[in-house]
Structure 1
Amino acid sequence: MFRDIAIEDMMAVREKGEMVLIDVRSPSEFNHSTIPGSLNIPLFNDEERAEIGTLYKQVSPEAAQDRGLEIVSAKLPDFIKAFKQLNREITVFCWRGGMRSKTSATVLDLMNVKVNRLQGGVRAYRKWVVDKMERMDLSKKAFILNGNTGTGKTLILRKLQKEGYPVIDLEQMANHRGSIFGQIGLNPHNQKTFDSLLVERLEQLQDSSYVLFEGESKRIGKAVLPQALYDMKEKGTQIFIELPMEERVQQILDDYSPWEYKSECMEAFRKIKSRIHTPIATQIEECLHSEEFSLAVRLLLEYYYDPRYKFTADQYPESQKVMLHVQHVDEAVEQIKKLIGQSVKSGHKMASI
């Protein structure tokens, strides 16, 4: 018989990489919000779920169950085969630990596929996330990465994270780059997904004495930072990176690939066009049309992003800021590692370089 498993037990086992979570809800439900890292093996697709729901409301629960059984019976071989290909402990879940996960677990158990069912499903997981959010320990020392647009802040953080540094990658959690052009080529996450990824990362970093993250605004795409994390950012040591303009332009071109998203870039530009001096705005638009992307990026940096960023940087006192003048991203990574090492070791404020 399959085993019901509580959220806390599931999280503990999954942290060790020994469990795969399977969301058996429809694809649209899965895409809207799920437990991060889960796979989707739906018992019903979106059309089937809608049909069964209509029968339940307009005819009877029995009619819905009969139709559900008919649909499931036809797809059982492929459904079971998908689970048998997994080689880790399996836990299935639906919205609230109801019929879909129970049916899936029962059928799999009958076919000798060892499986757990998550108690309470996604709803219980969401409650776990909210509870954790309310009790997050955000009293750690924070190093906040700042710099003009194009200084490679996200790339720097990801390089540091690969080396084991306690990075909170807020843009990855939001699946958005944090600017008017930030969603180009991406599908931004909603608030529930962002919260889930943030809480799980903070859980992983609970034993770290400090964290690093980018100096984002309160909103990143569709997601809003928790006030406690925003306050942590404001109190943290502000590391400002200064990179040559040529490097910044290249970083943006590498990151955004505007030649692949020409219409999206133009649409985003038109949202800010009125905020740029008219002759410059006209020149930027012409560059986008003629695919002179390097010049378009340079003009956007000089006449739109840099002046706005200077205002933000000036809000912090000099005693809270560290300036890093570097030639490229890899140099910035090494300088930040050195600064953090000195600060964590001595407990003293870092000096500007």
Structure 2
Amino acid sequence: MFQDISLPELLEKRNTQNHTLVDVRSPKEFEEGTIPGSINIPIFNDEERAEVGTLYKQVGPDEAKQRGLEIFSKKLPAFISAFKKIDTPITVFCWRGGMRSKTAATVLELMDIHATRLSGGIRSYRHYVVDVLAMAEFKPEFLVLNGFTGTGKTAILKKLADNGYPVLDFERMAKHRGSIFGHIGLNPSNQKRFESLLVEKMKEMEDESYIFVEGESKRIGKVVIPDFIYEKKERGLQFVIQMPVDERVRNILDDYQPWSNPEKFVEAFRIIQKRIHVPIAKEIDVFLQEQNFSEATKLLLSHYYDPRYAYATKDFKGEKVIIEAENVEDAYGKILSFLQAKGIEFQNQIISH
């Protein structure tokens, strides 16, 4: 017989050994929010779950269970095969530790594949995330990358992370680049998924003294940064990166690659078009239609993004350090040089560049 495992026990296990979490809910449920790092091996696909759920409500639980058994029995070979590929301890879960995870764990046990079941399901994990955020406690101080759009802040964060520095990348967790065009080519997170990823990173970095973040707005796409994190970001040491316009345009085009979805960039521009002086807006529109993205970007920077950024950041709460750089590499090196000169140290990391 399989065993249940509580969430605290599971989190402790994940800290001490490789452990695979398997979400057996439908793909749509998994996409809407899961425990970070989990994989999805569903008992029902989205349509099957809807069918069984409708039967449960309209006919009764016995009929729903019978239909669910009929559907699942046909999938058993593929279901078992997927689990046999996992070579670590396994924990399965569904929404509240109910029928689906019980069925999965029971079938696996019969096939001599040992798995625990998360007591309370993902609902218990959601309560944990809410409780952590409600405590509004996070010790590390923030080192904030600020600057006009296109100054390579995201690229610098990535380079810092790749070199072992602690980074809290809000845009990556939100799956959104933070502008009106920021969702294009991505699948933006909802608030639950964002908060789960945020708490995972907070727990991972809670013993750090300093963490790098980007100077984001409170809202990023569909998600909102919690107040206590946003306020900590506002009070942090602010690196204001300045870079030539042509380099900024190059960074933006490298990041967004508008030629891959030209029609979506035109659609997004329509949303902000009325906020730009009419002759300039018409000019930008023409450039976008012609796929002259370089010229369109220059105009968007000078007539939309730069003025909005200047207004939004005119009153920094934290200390401000100007970083004049030619490119991302230059900015990265100057930021680390400043921190080294100031004697700021990172846990298990010697400042190097």
Instruction: Give TM-score, length-normalised by structure 1.
Output: 0.95
Q: Give, in angstroms, the shift of residue 335 of structure 1.
A: 1.4
- Shift in CA distance, 259/345, structure 1 to aligned 2, threshold 3 Å: closer
Distance, in Å, in 1 between the alignment partners of 2:335 and 2:9 is: 37
Q: Partner of 1:145: helix, strand, or coil? A: strand
Match of 2:348 in 1: none
Deviation at 1:17, TM superposition (A): 5.6
Letter in 2 for 1:334: G
Amino acid at match of 1:337: L
Query: What SS does the corresponding residue of 1:167 show, helix, strand or coil?
Result: coil
Structure 2, gaps ≥5 residues long: 346-353
Q: Give the Cα–Cα distance (whole angstroms) in 2 for the partners of residues 249 and 345 of structure 1.
A: 32
Matched, 1:4 2:19: no
CA deviation after TM superposition for structure 1 residue 305, in Å: 0.8
Match of 1:338 in 2: 337
**Native 8 Å contact 1:238 1:322 kept in 2:** yes
1:327 — aligned with what? 326
Aligned to 1:120: 120
Deviation readout 1:130-171 (Å, 9 max, x if unpaired) = 111122423432111101000110110111011111110000
- Give the aligned residue type for 1:109: E
Matching of residue 235 in structure 1 with residue 235 in structure 2: yes
1:344 deviates by: 4.4
Is the CA contact 1:139–1:232 (under 8 Å) kept in the aligned structure 2? no
Confirm or deny: 8 A CA contact 2:138 2:206 kept in the other structure. Answer: no
**Structure 1 residue 60: deviation in Å?**
2.1
Matches within 5 A, 1:69-88: 69-88=69-88
Matches within 5 A, 1:1-353: 1-16=1-16, 18-316=18-316, 320-345=319-344
Aligned position for 1:351 = none
- Amino acid corresponding to residue 174 of structure 1 in structure 2: A
Q: Gaps spanning 5+ residues in structure 1: where?
A: 347-353
Letter matched to residue 272 of structure 1: I
Per-residue displacement from partner, 1:318-343 (whole Å, max 9, x unpaired)? x7100000001011111112222333
CA pair 88-51 structure 1, distance change in 2 beyond 3 A: same
- Percent of aligned pairs with the same amino acid: 54
Is residue 140–residue 206 contact of structure 2 (8 Å, CA) maintained in 1? Answer: no
Quote the Cα distance in structure 2 between the aligned partners of 1:341 and 1:107.
Answer: 57
Aligned CA distance change for structure 1 residues 275 and 39 (closer, same or farther; 3 Å): same
Q: Deviations over 1:76-96 (max 9, x none)?
A: 111000000111111110000
Task: Work out the CA distance in 1 between the residues paired with 2:19 and 2:235.
Answer: 38
Does structure 1 retain, via aligned residues, the 8 Å contact 2:139–2:207? no
Comparing 301-310 with 136-145, greater Cα deviation is found at 136-145
Secondary structure at the counterpart of residue 96 of structure 2: coil
C-alpha distance in 1 between matches for 2:6 and 2:343: 38
Alignment CA distance shift 1:270-1:238 (3 Å): same
Q: Output the CA distance in 2 between the equivalents of 1:345 and 1:190.
A: 35
Measure the CA separation in 1 of the matches of 2:324 and 2:5: 52
2:146–2:238 contact (8 Å) kept in structure 1: yes
- Distance in 2 between the 1:73 and 1:304 partners? 58
TM superposition shift of 1:16: 4.5
SS in 1 for 2:311: helix
C-alpha distance in 1 between matches for 2:78 and 2:138? 46
Letter in 2 for 1:2: F
Name the count of aligned residue pairs. 346
Other structure's SS at 1:168 match: coil
Alignment check: 8 A CA contact 2:146 2:241 kept? yes
Paired residue secondary structure (2:75): helix
In the aligned structure 1, how far is the partner of 2:142 from the partner of 2:27? 38
How far has the Cα of 1:221 moved from its partner? 0.5
Contact 1:178 1:220 (8 Å CA) reproduced:
yes
**Structure-2 change in CA distance of 1:158 and 1:277 (3 Å):** same
Deviation string, structure 1 residues 165-198 (Cα, Å, up to 9, x no partner): 1110000010001111110111110000000000
TM-score, normalised via structure 2 length:
0.95
Tell me, in whole angstroms, the C-alpha distance in 1 between the residues paired with 2:297 and 2:118: 49
C-alpha separation in 2, matches of 1:41 and 1:253: 37
Distance in 2, Cα, partners of 1:268 & 1:213: 26
- Tell me how far apart the structure 2 counterparts of residues 342 and 115 of structure 1 sit (CA, whole Å): 52
In 2, Cα distance between equivalents of 1:344 and 1:27 = 48
